[in-house]
Structure 1
Amino acid sequence: MPDTVESLVHALGDRDRGRRAAAEDGLVALGAEVVDHLLPILSSGRPRRHALRAESVFRRLGEDAVPRLREIRSHGPGHLRRVALRLIADLSGEQGLDLADRRAVERLIRVKLRSERPVMLPPESRWLATPADRFDALVAALGLHDLRAATTVMGLAATEAGSAHDSMQIKTPNGDKETVYRVFITPQFGAWRLLYGNAFLDAFGGEYLTEKVSGQCGEAHFYRIDTYHDAHVWCVARNGHMVRRHASWGDPEWVGDPLPFEVDYLEDRMWIEPSLISPQGVTDANVAARYLSVDVGYMPESETHGHGWLATTHPGSPNSHFRGALPI
């Protein structure tokens, strides 16, 4: 049997796609006994196609691989303990880690939080902005649960579009499926906090959530920047009502009257930056964010206060239930 396993492991790196796929299927069929044979591939810098197939085998094995990975994490061999830890997190989430590893991760997060400056926020993304002093109102308005202190790198990775970390499906008591989302609330920047969560914002609609949040926070903004499609969206809601919105491909494109900053900007900049402005108002969401709340990018240390928080949208699905290893 070991010879069979080794031949299949070797075939994972074959140049022929069909042989690689057949080897993967064969290893999955053998079950958890292949764990010890595959881990060295992920810790030795093998060619990318070899490592990707090994990762795929682990994903397909799922929880069946976790008991043996825990044994390796606890008892070695030492050079495989790090990759075993990552795979446990990928396959089972935080709940798959033993108590010592969970405490080690918590300590590392606390250390990183003390030194995470400057904070970098992606300029091409989507986010909500709310007054920092209405943090509790934001949490209540969105029905958030299990708030955990998190570094910005960790929070953004957990809520990135298309990642395996930003949402999960659960079964309701009546047997239906429900999607649970994870969001990241940033540290305070000046007078504002931002909320990231691409899957969450896309599922419910940034503009709808802006109005909803503003009903409890007094004011809320939504920004979306998609340079690939040359699309910019920004809106401002106050006390539960939309007062101004621009959407590049929206119908209508504009809602509400120009805000004071737009009037000033049109008068001062129209001849300098015509691509960022139309006769109706400011079209660039980054420009709107700069004047209305926070200009994202490298955030000045002097304006950054506190730390960020990861949260989920369901009381029965804490952060520990989400799978995937996050950078810290």
Structure 2
Amino acid sequence: MNEGTRDEIRSIVEALRGERFDGKREVEREFLDRGAPIVAELLDIAADEGALPHIFKDWFKEVGGAADEFLRIRRDGPGRLRRYALEALASLGAAHRLDPRDRAAVERLVRLRLSDAGDGGSRRPRYWPGFWVTVRGDDLKAITAELGLHHLTRATVPMGVHAAVMEEHFITMTGPAGKPQYAERIFISPPVQGWRILFLGHESLGHLVDWADRLSGVCGEAHAYYNDAYDSDDGFWYVGRDGRRHRGPFSFEDEEDEKADPDTAAAYLSVTPDALMLADDLSDGRLATTHPEVTPWHFRGALPI
């Protein structure tokens, strides 16, 4: 790309990132219609700034051939753009297209983080979700078989929680005969104080009690907890044992002696997510999906490791 074209692109980008002006959307559309040739320059701007701006990630979704260009940059360079190309691929949900060498590099980084996690070291996620399922014991095989989970992938706690809750974690697809099919990312935490914690997205809130019952049937005991982020007086907790209801669901409005908010109930009856930050070994968490043809890397969003 010649210097004049590069300067022109940077001038357009500066204008589009600035204040609104008449015809801005038309200018943006014409700019993005240039396709793959603008991709490297956008990554070059990101490298200058030290971060990939969110607006660039939005633009990449509209640029034809962007993923192919990112893969080319990952393969051929320039070197200073490779990390931003990887993040951009993840933002498009195209990380599953990485070549084996790149995939191995990502897996090595995860293993390094997990080696630290094996000594109890882990970064706290941006926030803990307000709903989770706890399962007594350490039977990962029983959990995944009962819920029909696929593509188990080792993950750190921040990586797993972000994948299951904060980034894209639910995909709708068209199946046979045009019927919709769904895929979701689930994070199964490392064992902590004799329990594993399952983190899942908002789309599965309606399954919390059902999952607790089903998992208690194969693991002996499982609980469901829910805190409403928008209403501090709303929430519930539930205990399943041996495949059926044992206690609950109790909400704040119940007139039960054992009434308690979900966090208090979880701390008393099993574990809260905060317990993960005090664990001695956090190296055994797993990301999984609910669809056999969808891996954890098909979802959009770059994950912290």
Largest Rg, 1 or 2:
1
Secondary structure, aligned partner of 2:152: strand
- The answer on whether the counterparts of 2:130 and 2:229 sit within 8 Å (CA) in structure 1 is no
- Pairs within 5 Å for 1:1-328: 2=5, 5-16=9-20, 18-45=22-49, 51-61=53-63, 64-116=65-117, 117-119=120-122, 120=124, 122-161=127-166, 163-164=167-168, 166-202=169-205, 204-230=206-232, 231-248=234-251, 253-254=253-254, 280-299=257-276, 301=278, 304=281, 306-328=283-305
1-side partners of 2:99 and 2:235: how far apart?
Answer: 45
Supply the RMSD in Å over aligned alpha carbons.
2.7
Matching residue's letter, 1:25: R
Which segments of structure 1 move beyond 6 Å, counting only runs of 4 or more? none
1-side partners of 2:277 and 2:74: how far apart?
Answer: 40
Give the C-alpha shift of residue 214 in structure 1.
1.8
Q: Residues 287 and 52 of structure 1: is their aligned pair in 2 closer, same or farther, counting only changes over 3 Å?
A: closer
Q: Residues 66 and 296 of structure 1: is their aligned pair in 2 closer, same or farther, counting only changes over 3 Å?
A: closer
1-side partners of 2:14 and 2:274: how far apart?
Answer: 45
Q: Residues 41 and 19 of structure 1: is their aligned pair in 2 closer, same or farther, counting only changes over 3 Å?
A: farther
Matching residue's letter, 2:263: N
Q: Residues 53 and 19 of structure 1: is their aligned pair in 2 closer, same or farther, counting only changes over 3 Å?
A: farther
1:60-116 CA distance string (max 9 Å, x none): 226x11222222223322322221121122224322212211110011111111112
**TM-score normalised to structure 2 length:** 0.86
Matching residue's letter, 1:97: L
1:240-280 CA distance string (max 9 Å, x none): 2222124447xxx54xxxxxxxxxxxxxxxxxxxxxxx663
| Percent of aligned pairs with the same amino acid | 34
Secondary structure, aligned partner of 1:281: coil
Structure 2: where are the runs of 5+ without partners?
none
- The answer on whether the counterparts of 1:159 and 1:199 sit within 8 Å (CA) in structure 2 is no
Q: Residues 42 and 123 of structure 1: is their aligned pair in 2 closer, same or farther, counting only changes over 3 Å?
A: closer
**TM-score normalised to structure 1 length:** 0.80
